[in-house]
Structure 1
């Protein structure tokens, strides 16, 4: 083999490997908050999948093979061949046919955002390399997807697709009542500190400082909404007939206002020590400073600081220091953790 042939062979191998890597990277999607998916979608429906079929459509094949463009809020198929609108539905899957593309026949339960029509089928690529989606029959989903000019709904991996039963009550309710009112706000995913906020219409999505942001409290229970001054704030949805511990702000009009950053928790989820400390211990430690430690080393700069190391684990709010300790003053003026004991029943 001559040098020129060897070089050509090496080049072809490199190009092949690059293409494989490119395909593998194509389906990497940054996660989105359900509100982002809703606001970016022109159609939102819920459905139960009953039939899944793979049907060949030249237009759909071109859409499936088109390169993916990653946006802050949503991911769409880039194509100059078709204008693509986006939608949101709740539906159930009922059957399957296999081909170059997969067609899921669905029973649409509710259209949350989109045209005044019923979606009967959803299409996706049969190849995972082209971001094809696999749905289970007889399962109910919340689905966001694309509606092309032919009137067909197409879905890819980067769409927000989740089992309906896995959504919280707040998320389900917000699809019809809250997310729409916050579509002028921008949700910024925060996965490592510091997280800058550049404009007042932004809300920091800090669930991603923990392991799984999609299961975090902001994802499950909050919406980013406009304040009266035009800035954004993560509004709070509370359940009726539920007992809470709530911290908030009292404005000059005498109204209590709460946002995502307030401490809001079901009363039943508090430990006995936490409940007792609200009246007996926390007040005496207000001159101390609690420093959240999420990665080592964690410096202590002054003697009146206590390191909150629960965050070295998965969920700091459920850790032993959060549930059972208070940061209190010693007689020498320094602060340290003291374990509080709940009263016996």
Structure 2
């Protein structure tokens, strides 16, 4: 049985278009690597919570999780949060256990996704846990990446640099264990 040439061409085009769309959807679920302090500062809510399990969602396109809040890092006023939501597309899928979670307030509820802090609490180092209490102090500082000559063109007054380790920047792994804080002269510097 032979397939007419026009049908073969149509099938071929459909195949290549579907591959292209799949790549775009997959790329849409990637995040630019950001320092955890920057994620903290850009979030409405940062908590340490125990995820008790998934529950029926009352909101379309969101997955719901029942939680017990252990510590609230941000905001400072305690919110009574018992259910949090993750986006179905590009959302995080945490298992039961303790997590450091960040997210945004959307219609009065906390929503988080892949680009937020969704870290198992027991996998954070002691230094990272200690730095959580300092991150808010450094929110006036900017944390930005640079490489080579781009490091020299940055306004360094209110900036901590992440890139190739040098006299003015920290490597990414080292920066994860540091916090960017303003000094007495208001310029920002890495603190370890």
Judge same fold: TM > 0.5, yes or no.
yes
Residue aligning to 1:182: 138
Q: Which residue of 2 aligns with 1:253?
A: none
- Output one character per residue of 1:26-52: Cα deviation in whole Å (capped at 9) or x when no partner: 111122212111111121111011122
2:189 pairs with 1:233:
yes
Shift of 1:56: 5.7
The answer to whether the aligner puts 1:147 opposite 2:97 as a matched pair is no
TM alignment of 1:49-88, pairs within 5 A:
49-55=51-57, 57-58=59-60, 61=61
Q: Check conservation: 1:104, 1:121, Cα contact below 8 A.
A: yes
TM-score scaled by length of structure 2: 0.80
The residue number in structure 1 matching 2:71 is 110
* Aligned twin of 2:151: 196
- The alignment partner of 2:86 has SS state of strand
Deviation at 1:194, TM superposition (A): 5.0
Q: Deviations over 1:296-329 (max 9, x none)?
A: xxxxxxxxxxxxxxxxxxxxxxxxxxxxxxxxxx
Gaps of at least 5 residues in structure 2 are none
Query: For the Cα contact (< 8 Å) 2:50–2:68, is it kept in 1?
Result: yes
Q: What's the RMSD between the two structures over aligned residues?
A: 2.6
Larger Rg: 1
Q: Partner of 1:117: helix, strand, or coil?
A: coil
Q: Deviations over 1:178-236 (max 9, x none)?
A: 2112112111235x545525112221124789xx94xx33212x111123333221123
Aligned to 1:131: 90
Distance 2:86 2:165 in 1: 29
Whether the aligned pair in 2 keeps the contact of 1:32 and 1:160 (CA below 8 Å) is no
1:70-123 CA-to-partner distances (Å, cap 9, x unmatched) read xxxxxxxxxxxxxxxxxxxxxxxxxxxxxxx43211100111113531211122
Runs of 4+ in 1 over 6 A off after TM superposition: none
Number of aligned residue pairs:
182
Q: Is the 8 A contact 1:195 1:204 kept in 2?
A: no
Maintained 8 Å contact 1:141/1:164: yes
Give 1:6 shift.
5.0
Cα gap change, 1:144/1:18 in structure 2, threshold over 3 Å: closer, same or farther? Answer: same
Partner in structure 1 of residue 82 of structure 2: 120
Are the aligned partners of 2:160 and 2:180 in contact in 1 as well (CA < 8 Å)? yes
The answer to whether the 8 Å contact 2:47/2:69 transfers is yes
Name stretches of at least 5 consecutive residues in structure 1 with no aligned partner.
Answer: 62-100, 237-345
3-state DSSP class of the match of 1:23?
helix
More strand by share: 2
